[in-house]
Amino acid sequence: MFNSKVFVAEFIGTFALVFIAAGAGMVGAAPIAAALAYGLALAVFAYAYGHISGAHLNPAVTFAFLLNQTLKWGQAIFYWIAQFSGAILAAWLLQTIAVSLGGTLQGGATTGLLTDKQPVLAMVVEALLTFFLVNTILNTAVAGNGGKFAGWVTGVTLAVAVLGGGALTGASLNPARTFGPAIFVGPSYTNVYTYVIYLFGPLIGATLAVLVYNFLNDIKDEEEEELVPAVVEAAPVKKTRKPAVRKATKK
């Protein structure tokens, strides 16, 4: 059940994703630069490790594959351990660098205008953005419709989502991306809304994406309809009497 290659791939990939995304925020990169850093990092590692682990790099994506019965619970748990471990190590390294320079990792935290003021709306935004991301993954990489461009399409989707929702929630779309840096800077682990927004939000979005994907790609009903013969109403047939056959009589 435990696959060391999958574990290492998810650990390194998530480490890189968080290090690049949070690092861009830490140094005060412009919103478009931060979005591109996050999206391009995902695209690159989708090609680098996609053939090994699927390059989930996100507990919400792994949850979607669990719901879609691509993974079993035992496998998913090891994915999550690798992802959160990679995120925590990346955040620790960034925090160490920031402190040595006399700064903090504050800019790398996933918080936005709605985080404290409207946490329920923030959860909706995270769920919606995660839905977009997982929907793209399922309909390109999983369904095989994206071909060689599936990784880039996924990365672009993430970048666009960050551009659209970054100011509102920090556009995490990824519990590991949030909870790694949260150990050092925030959002607070003691605040229940941190889990509502950045854990349940992405999980809800992933669940909706799986439901929509299964609905759109379920051809079972269509196949059953093709197997049912068409019923054609026959035109009424008039019954005709057979001519009477007279027996020959002997004379």
Q: Are 42 and 171 in contact (CB under 8 A)?
A: no
Q: Is the pLDDT of residue 63 over 70?
A: yes
**pLDDT tens-digit readout, 122-133:** 999 999 999 999
Per-residue burial over 66-81, b = 16 or more CB atoms within 10 Å of its CB, e = otherwise: bbbeebeeebbebbbe
Smallest CA-to-CA distance from 175 within 98, 92, 80, 243 is with: 80
Predicted confidence band at 213 (pLDDT cuts at 50, 70, 90)? very high
Please give the pLDDT value at position 223: 54
DSSP three-state, residue 75: helix
Between CA 47 and CA 128 the distance in angstroms is 25
Q: List the domains of the chain with CATH numbers.
A: 4-216 (1.20.1080.10)
Q: Which single residue is written with the structure tokens 């509102």? A: 168
Smallest CA-to-CA distance from 140 within 131, 130, 151, 129 is with: 151
pTM recorded for the entire structure: 0.86
Q: Are 219 and 143 in contact (CB under 8 A)?
A: no
**pLDDT tens-digit readout, 148-193:** 999 999 999 999 999 999 999 999 999 999 999 999 999 999 999 9
Would residue 230 be called left, alpha or beta, if left means φ above 0 and alpha means ψ between -120 and 50 degrees?
beta
